[in-house]
Structure 1
Amino acid sequence: MTLFSLVQSFNMITFKNVLIKSTIIILVFLIPSCKSSKDSNKNFSSSTSVYCPETGTCNLETLTSKNLVLLKDNIGSLYPEIQDGNHCVISFEFKKNVDPNLQDASYTELVIFELPQNFDKNVYENQDLEKLNMVFGRLCFCRGQTGYYPIKTGSLKFEEKEGEVFFQLDFQMNEVPQIVSHIEGKIKA
């Protein structure tokens, strides 16, 4: 075994450990909390995904009284952390259907963002998405193409009707391939 392949193996093991730890931290914070916030103008109670690609399963969660904070690890990779706060955080998860007998075949995409407190706009586009801390996560055994990335290109539309907020997100990632580029959902207020 050459020194180069030994270093490459070590880097892959380190990267895999960071990815596993980040995923565990995120999952711990994604446990739904339904208590209301004094500072929030909206108290959302539940969410429903109304669109999911046929190649997998989807889950949409509403996390109230939370903030989404984007951090960087010691190698400069972005990762989200959900903390107690005064916003509502939306977490969309797509899990691709894979053969359970295949090792390292799991594939997950995540979209996580904070809802605006006042819905002063019905459409958020491109650079406006940064105000919502919107991130795309691609978690798989995909060398060099896994991790979290800010969503910079797309549009998020809101419409309030009869105690529910409907949203539609269309986005494009330039950094990594993606399966999900369109998300629709409704949130009960």
Structure 2
Amino acid sequence: MKSFFALSLVILMFSCDSTKSTSDEKSSNTLSPDEKQEMSKNISSITLESGCLPAGDCNLEVMPNTKMDFKIDTAEMLYPEFVDDLHTNTVKFSYNEDTDKELMDGHYREEVYFEVKNGTKEMNLQDMELKDVNFLYGRFCYCKGSAGYFKVDKGNLTMKDGKLTVEFANGQVPQKLGKITASYK
């Protein structure tokens, strides 16, 4: 019964539909060759250096020409919807903890998202300034009342000389991740 409720909640979160309303959004499928060339001048690759906990697997990726549009589901929980935007890339870090495959509710995952405007070479944000990049933390597990997405306004995000450092505390639910470092081109 518990797993049915959790599965229903996840399906409900991702089944909500909305329409685009921002005039600067443009599908990456409709980009001209010149626009695609310009996009390649932004973060093209990112490599995790530290931050992954030994009990799981991590993935760090750049979602090009994508920004987050925040939505609220019927359970009044926040979630991101990813929309095309020529001026923004979204960076996603995910941590999936190794669990017993025999346990239906044994999964544990944390995610971190933030946006980087195209052409940004350096950034140094602290605490409330994290709102400028829509910094978002997600925790997903069978942990009643302390799972979902949460906006973060405590921490530091620094990009300089090809090095990315993120330190944060969501202040709302327990978290295992706290510091991530990566290199980027």
TM tier, smaller: 0.7 to 0.9
1:43 matched residue in structure 2: 42
Alpha carbons of structure 1 residues 49 and 120: separation in structure 2 relative to 1, 3 Å: closer
Does 1:22 pair with 2:13?
Answer: yes
* Corresponding residue SS for 1:184: strand
Alpha carbons of structure 1 residues 125 and 41: separation in structure 2 relative to 1, 3 Å: farther
Paired AA for residue 54 in structure 2: E
Q: Which runs of 5+ in 1 are unaligned?
A: 1-8, 26-32
Paired AA for residue 10 in structure 2: L
1:103 matched residue in structure 2: 104
Mapping of 1:145-184 within 5 angstroms?
A: 145-160=146-161, 165-184=162-181
Asked if 2 retains the 8 angstrom alpha-carbon contact of 1:126 and 1:153, the reply is yes
| Identity value in percent | 27
Asked if 1 retains the 8 angstrom alpha-carbon contact of 2:42 and 2:120, the reply is no
Give TM-score, length-normalised by structure 1: 0.77
> How many Å separate the matches in 1 of 2:77 and 2:106?
23
Moved more, 141-150 or 70-79: 70-79
Q: How many residues align?
A: 166
**1:142-186 CA distance string (max 9 Å, x none):** 1111100001100001112xxxx3210000121100000111112
Asked if 2 retains the 8 angstrom alpha-carbon contact of 1:37 and 1:64, the reply is no
**1:22-72 CA distance string (max 9 Å, x none):** 3688xxxxxxx8x86577694222221111111211000111111111111
Give TM-score, length-normalised by structure 2: 0.78
Alpha carbons of structure 1 residues 68 and 136: separation in structure 2 relative to 1, 3 Å: same
